[in-house]
Chains A and B, each alone.
Chain A
Amino acid sequence: NAGVTQTPKFRVLKTGQSMTLLCAQDMNHEYMYWYRQDPGMGLRLIHYSVGEGTTAKGEVPDGYNVSRLKKQNFLLGLESAAPSQTSVYFCASSYGYWWQANPSNQPQHFGDGTRLSIL
């Protein structure tokens, strides 16, 4: 059982280049999330999805796009990378109403992160 898998683990881009980060989960979770982690700022939500074909903006959505064409996958795209997007990106997934379904559920399951550097 792999849980939440992020690819790639590391990437270096030049300013203006584009790329897509892939998140895949095998737990049949309805909800998926993309966060960025920067020193001293914790994790900030970029975008999230409450089901296949749906997406919504989080706290810091500018400069990013997402797609959820399949329930198990959540893609994060950078159309024109900027140095300010240098960060560690985490994907997470969860059941909807997780605490009602089973309070022992984890609220969110996290991947191991993607370290992205924009030069």
Chain B
Amino acid sequence: AQSVTQPDIHITVSEGASLELRCNYSYGATPYLFWYVQSPGQGLQLLLKYFSGDTLVQGIKGFEAEFKRSQSSFNLRKPSVHWSDAAEYFCAVAPGYSSASKIIFGSGTRLSIRP
């Protein structure tokens, strides 16, 4: 069965510092991979997605993620965080064959920004 692991429950970084959020997935074939962000009291917003091709994908708000098949990872990065990046981040996976568009979410990483 597919699964997604986000090993960090909570991360605090200083404003202006770089950020990397970890995500590992379990799936037999190449899945579709996503990162979502959830601001307090809001729904989920898609940051970026990976289907195939270039393993480094660019997203909105200056985020990027790199797909590494050998490590079954899809880590999210940002070179310099802003206070507005404080939110919860979810990594997710969807099997490519499914028409039902079911997505499996990780448990989330809460990001706090230190002034």
A50→B94 contact, CB < 8 A:
no
Residues on the A chain within 8 Å of B44, using CB: 43, 90, 92, 110
Q: Which residues of A contact B96 (CB under 8 A)?
A: 99
Question: When the two chains form their complex, are residues A41 and B51 in contact, meaning their CB atoms are under 8 A apart?
Answer: no
Query: How many A-B contacts are there with CB distance less than 8 Å?
Result: 59
A contact residues vs B (CB 8 Å cutoff):
4, 31, 33, 40-45, 48, 50, 56, 58, 90, 92, 94-99, 103, 106-108, 110-113
**Residues 27-45 (chain B) with a chain A CB within 8 angstroms:** 32, 34, 41-45
Contact of B43 among A56, A103, A111 (CB under 8 A): A111
Size category of the binding interface on chain B:
20 to 34
Most chain A beta-carbon neighbours within 10 Å: one of B101, B102, B105: B101
CB distance from A82 to the nearest CB of B (A): 23
- Asked if residues B43 and A94 are in contact (CB atoms below 8 Å), the reply is no
Task: Give the distance to chain A from B26, nearest Cβ to Cβ, in Å.
Answer: 15
Residues of A within 8 A of B90 (CB): 42-43
